[in-house]
Structure 1
Amino acid sequence: LPRLPLWGSYWILLWGNYKFPHKNMWYYMKKFKSKVISMWMGDFYTVVANDFDTVREVLTKREFDGRDTTGFAGKSRAFGKTL
């Protein structure tokens, strides 16, 4: 989604449905035929998952963890185990 420096892609969600911007996320998920979309919410890169199975996969798989597991800090943070 296109973005502006201060607002990110949030203005597109407001433009589509000002009272219920979360409904506009459903619109874009159907438009792009994807269960996961990403956008900029101001300075933060945000990933939105659509259904229960996708949310579960994102929260449980190691590929989506996004944490550094190399080096001392990555291994000592969780005592060498994944969360």
Structure 2
Amino acid sequence: MADISSCAERVSAASPCAGCPADCLEACFNDAISADAEGGVRILADNCAGCGACVPVCEPGLIHLHEGIARIVQPKPVSPVRA
């Protein structure tokens, strides 16, 4: 199960999508998505209109709408399988 950032947070956690083409930046007409210094993406909840334009263009599929606001879903780390 993925962990969705708390709706109380104004800025989501840095995304694990460094190196992605960040098409979500172009898709957002409300300046709710910005690139950070580490090459990740941040979503500013206060600017998000909940239109969902960023969701289909997110190549790694990490942006989802949650309660009408775009959020970056942080995938859980995969544990090694023991034989």
TM-score (norm: length of structure 1): 0.25
Q: Which has the higher strand share?
A: 2
- The higher-RCO structure (CA 8 Å, 6+ apart) is 2
More helix by share: 1
Which entry has the higher C-alpha Rg, 1 or 2? 1
Q: Calculate the TM-score normalised by the size of structure 2.
A: 0.25
